[in-house]
C-alpha cells in the first residue's frame, strides 16, 4: 500500500505515524478501525436514506405509472432501486474506510468536481417546494391552510435542530419512530386491501424487462418516466449526504470524527479534523474488522433500504389498484399533471370507494412522508454544505462546524419562508427545467465520482470488486443516457 513510514527513532512513537496519501490533499493518518457492531443491529444511519428516499416516487409517481401503463412498467423501478442499493454500498465504502464525506473524496480527485456538487445543492435544494405536497395533504385532513403548516414546520425544524445537543441522535430517534409507523401502517393497509393477485401482477411486472408501451415513448410521458426512475429510492444528492450521516453515526473510521452539535451546544463540540483517517489494510486483523463493517452495511442496504422501499411502493401500488377497481374514473383523473390535484383525486377515489377513513389514512401517509423528507432534507443539505465550506473555504475553520451548519440551516429556512410567502415554491418557472435537469444529472455525475474516488483514493485491498464497478458504470449510463435521450429526442428534460 502507498503509505510512507518515517525512519525509526530511538523513542517509540506515541501514535502511528504512517499516513495514506490520497490525491493531492492532506494525507490521512493511519488509525485503528473500530470493531464492527457485535450483532447485525437493525438501527443505523440507513434510516436517513429511507426517510429521504421513500417519498413522492414511491407514494405517487410509480403507482400512477402502474395505473397508466400497467404493472409491467415496474421493471424500471426494480432497476432504479437495485442500482441505488449498490450506490449506497459504494458510498458507504469510502465513508467507512476514511471517515470523510464523498464530497471530500471528490475534492481529492479533482476539486472543481466537489464545487459542482456544492453549486447543484444550492440551486436545487433551497426551494421549499418539497414541503407543499405534505402540507397540502395535511390541509385536506385538518383544514389548516397549507401555507401556515409549511411556515410553522420550517421554523420548528430550525428551533429543534438549534437546541439539540447532538443533532444526529435526535434526528435518528424522531425519524425512526416516524418511519416505523409508516412501515407498519403501509404493511397493514396493504394486508387489508390487497390480494395475492395484485402482488402477483405487481411483482411479475418487475421482471418484464424491456417493456415500454408506445404511449410511454412520447414527449408527454417519457420525461415523466425518466423523472420516476430518478425518484426510485433516494434522488438527487441524497446518497451523497448519506456518507455524512454514516460518519455521524460513528460507522467505521467515522468513529474518529466528532459529531456536529446544535447551535446552543456548539461550545461543547470538539474541533473537527481537516481530513479523515485510514486503517492498515495490510493487517489481517484490521481487514477482518472491515469485513464485519461491510456485512453490517450490506444488511442495511438489502433489508432496510431495498426492502422498505419495495414494500412501500408495492403497498401504495396495491392501494392504487384497489382504488381503480372500486372507481375506474380515477385512472383519468390521475393523468392530471398537477401533483396535488392527482394526489387529492387518488385520496378522494379511495374515500368514495368505501369510507373517508382510508382517504384520511392515505393523506396522512403523504403528510408523514412529507414531514420525513423535510426533516431529513434540511439537515442533510446543511450538513453537506457546512462540510464542504469548513474543509475547503479559506478561513472557515475559524468557525465551528456547528456554526456553519446553523448558518446554512437558518439560511435555507428564512429563504424558504420568504419564497413560500412571496415567490414560486418550486423555484422560478423559467429555471424549473434546469433544476430538474441538474438533479438527475447529479445522479449520473455521482456514479462517475464514486468510480473515481473508490478506485483511485482507496488502498487496493478495499477497492470495489469489478462487478460493483460495472453496475455503478451502468448507473451513470442509465441516468445520463435517459436524461439526454429525453432532451434530444423529445426536447423535454424530466417530468
Partner 1 sequence: MIDRHSLELALPGASIGAVAGAMAGGLTLFAGVPTGLAALSALMLALPLGLFGGLYGVLLGRGVFRPGTFGPCGLYWMAAFPLSRLVQESVAGTGGLAGGAGGFLLYQAMVSLGFAIGFVWIHERLMPHWLLRVAPANPQAEALLGLYVHHAEALRARKGARR
Interface contacts to partner 1, rule CB under 8 A: 15, 31-32, 34-35, 37-43, 173, 176-177, 179-197, 199, 250, 255-258, 299, 303-304, 307-308, 311, 315, 353-355, 357-358, 361
Helix, strand and coil content of the chain, in percent to the nearest 5, comes to: 70, 0, 25
User: Least CB distance from residue 247 to partner 1, whole Å?
Assistant: 12
For residue 491, how far is the Cα from the chain centroid?
28
Instruction: Tell me if 132 sits within 8 A of 146, measured CB to CB.
Output: yes
Closest of 320, 317, 316 to residue 328, by C-alpha: 320
DSSP state of 57: I
Nearer Cβ to partner 1 (14/214)? 14
Q: Quick check: 207 and 78 in contact, CB under 8 A?
A: yes
What is the distance between the alpha carbons of residues 489 and 176, in angstroms, rounded to a whole number? 43
CB of 265 to partner 1, least distance (A): 17
DSSP 386-436: HHHHHHHSTTGGGS-HHHHHHHHHHHHHHHHHHHHHHS-TT--GGGHHHHH
Q: Which residue has the cell 465513508?
A: 95
Selection from 81, 74, 158, 114 nearest residue 414 by Cα: 158
What is the rounded CA–CA span in Å between residue 117 and residue 445? 9
Of 241 and 362, the one with the shorter C-beta distance to partner 1 is 362
40/448 with CB nearer partner 1: 40
C-alpha cell at 29: 493518518
Q: How far is the CB of 38 from partner 1 (least distance, A)?
A: 5
Least separation in angstroms between CB 90 and partner 1 = 23
Tell me whether residue 382 or residue 391 sits nearer to partner 1 (CB atom). Answer: 391
Residue closer to partner 1 by CB (options 315, 486) is: 315
Helices 46-53 and 167-193, packing angle to 10 deg = 50
Helix axes 111-125, 432-456, angle to 10 degrees: 150
Shortest approach of partner 1 to residue 185 CB, angstroms? 7
- Nearest approach in angstroms of CB 43 to partner 1 is 6
CB of 197 to partner 1, least distance (A): 7
Query: Nearest distance from residue 40's CB to partner 1, in Å?
Result: 6
Tell me whether residue 254 or residue 384 sits nearer to partner 1 (CB atom). 254
Per DSSP, the residues of 97-143 read HHS--HHHHHHHH-HHHHHHHHHHHHHHHSSTTHHHHHHHHHHHHH-
CB of 177 or CB of 421, closer to partner 1: 177
All cell numbers assigned to 130: 418539497
Taking the complex as a whole, the smallest distance from the CB of residue 277 to partner 1 amounts, in Å, to 8
User: Which of 95/494 has CB closer to partner 1?
Assistant: 95
C-alpha cell at 203: 411483482
Please give the DSSP secondary-structure letter assigned to residue 457: S
Q: What is the largest CA-CA distance in the chain?
A: 84
Is residue 91 within 8 A of residue 117, CB to CB? The reply is no
Residue 186 CB, nearest approach to partner 1 (Å): 7
By beta-carbon proximity to partner 1, the closer residue of 38 and 143 is: 38
Q: How far is the CB of 343 from partner 1 (least distance, A)?
A: 18
Q: Give the nearest distance from C-beta 182 to partner 1 in angstroms.
A: 8
Is the separation of the CB atoms in 376 and 345 below 8 Å? Answer: no
Instruction: Choose between 184 and 217: whose C-beta lies nearer to partner 1.
Output: 184
The residue among 124, 125, 114, 130 whose CA lies nearest residue 446 is 114
DSSP line for 275-338: S--B--TT-HHHHHHHHHHHHHHHHIIIIIIIIHHHHHHHHHHHHHHHHHHH-TTHHHHTT-S-
| Closer of 304 and 435 to partner 1 (Cβ) | 304
Taking the least distance from each CB to partner 1, the nearer of 49 and 361 is: 361
CA–CA separation, 455 vs 449, rounded Å? 10
Pick the closer one to partner 1 by CB: 40 or 216.
Answer: 40
CB of 238 to partner 1, least distance (A): 20
Amino acid at each position: 500500500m502507498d503509505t510512507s513510514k518515517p525512519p525509526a527513532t530511538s523513542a517509540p512513537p506515541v501514535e502511528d505515524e504512517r499516513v495514506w496519501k490520497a490525491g493531492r490533499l492532506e494525507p490521512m493518518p493511519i488509525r485503528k478501525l473500530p470493531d464492527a457492531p457485535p450483532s447485525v443491529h437493525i438501527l443505523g444511519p440507513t434510516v436517513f436514506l429511507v426517510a429521504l428516499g421513500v417519498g413522492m416516487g414511491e407514494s405517487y409517481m410509480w403507482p400512477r405509472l402502474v395505473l397508466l401503463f400497467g404493472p409491467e412498467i415496474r421493471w424500471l423501478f426494480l432497476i432504479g432501486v437495485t442500482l441505488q442499493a449498490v450506490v449506497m454500498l459504494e458510498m458507504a465504502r469510502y465513508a467507512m474506510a476514511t471517515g470523510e464525506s464523498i464530497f471530500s473524496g471528490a475534492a481529492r480527485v479533482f476539486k472543481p468536481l466537489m464545487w459542482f456538487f456544492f453549486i447543484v445543492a444550492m440551486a436545487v435544494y433551497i426551494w421549499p417546494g418539497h414541503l407543499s405536497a405534505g402540507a397540502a395533504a395535511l390541509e385536506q385532513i385538518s383544514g389548516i391552510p397549507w401555507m401556515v403548516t409549511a411556515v410553522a414546520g420550517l421554523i420548528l425544524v430550525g428551533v429543534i435542530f438549534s437546541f439539540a445537543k447532538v443533532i444526529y441522535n435526535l434526528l435518528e430517534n424522531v425519524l425512526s419512530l416516524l418511519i416505523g409507523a409508516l412501515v407498519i401502517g403501509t404493511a397493514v393497509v396493504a394486508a387489508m386491501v390487497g390480494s395475492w393477485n395484485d402482488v402477483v401482477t405487481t411483482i411479475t411486472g418487475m421482471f418484464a424487462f424491456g417493456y415500454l408501451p408506445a404511449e410511454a415513448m412520447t414527449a408527454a410521458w417519457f420525461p415523466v418516466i425518466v423523472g420516476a426512475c430518478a425518484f426510485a429510492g433516494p434522488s438527487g444528492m441524497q446518497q451523497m449526504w448519506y456518507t455524512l450521516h454514516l460518519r455521524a453515526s460513528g460507522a467505521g473510521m467515522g468513529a474518529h470524527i466528532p459529531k456536529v452539535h446544535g447551535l446552543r451546544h456548539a461550545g461543547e463540540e470538539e474541533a473537527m479534523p481537516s481530513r479523515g483517517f485510514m486503517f492498515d489494510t495490510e493487517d489481517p486483523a484490521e481487514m477482518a474488522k472491515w469485513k464485519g463493517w461491510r456485512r453490517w452495511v450490506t444488511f442495511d442496504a438489502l433489508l432496510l433500504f431495498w426492502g422498505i422501499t419495495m414494500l412501500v411502493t408495492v403497498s401504495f401500488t396495491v392501494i392504487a389498484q384497489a382504488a381503480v377497481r372500486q372507481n375506474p374514473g380515477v385512472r383519468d383523473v390521475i393523468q392530471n399533471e398537477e401533483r396535488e390535484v392527482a394526489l387529492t383525486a387518488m385520496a378522494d377515489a379511495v374515500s368514495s370507494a368505501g369510507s373517508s377513513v382510508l382517504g384520511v389514512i392515505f393523506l396522512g401517509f403523504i403528510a408523514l412522508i412529507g414531514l420525513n423528507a423535510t426533516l431529513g432534507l434540511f439537515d442533510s443539505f446543511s450538513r453537506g454544505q457546512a462540510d464542504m465550506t469548513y474543509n475547503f473555504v479559506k478561513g472557515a475553520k475559524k468557525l465551528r462546524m456547528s456554526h456553519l451548519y446553523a448558518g446554512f440551516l437558518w439560511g435555507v429556512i428564512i429563504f424558504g419562508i420568504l419564497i413560500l410567502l412571496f415567490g414560486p415554491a418550486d423555484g422560478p418557472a423559467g429555471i424549473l427545467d434546469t433544476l430538474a435537469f441538474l438533479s438527475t444529472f447529479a445522479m449520473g455525475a455521482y456514479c462517475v465520482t464514486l468510480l473515481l474516488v473508490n478506485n483511485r483514493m482507496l488502498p487496493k485491498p478495499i477497492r470495489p470488486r469489478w462487478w460493483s464497478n460495472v453496475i455503478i458504470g451502468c448507473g451513470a449510463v442509465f441516468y445520463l443516457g435517459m436524461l439526454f435521450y429525453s432532451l434530444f429526442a423529445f426536447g423535454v428534460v424530466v417530468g
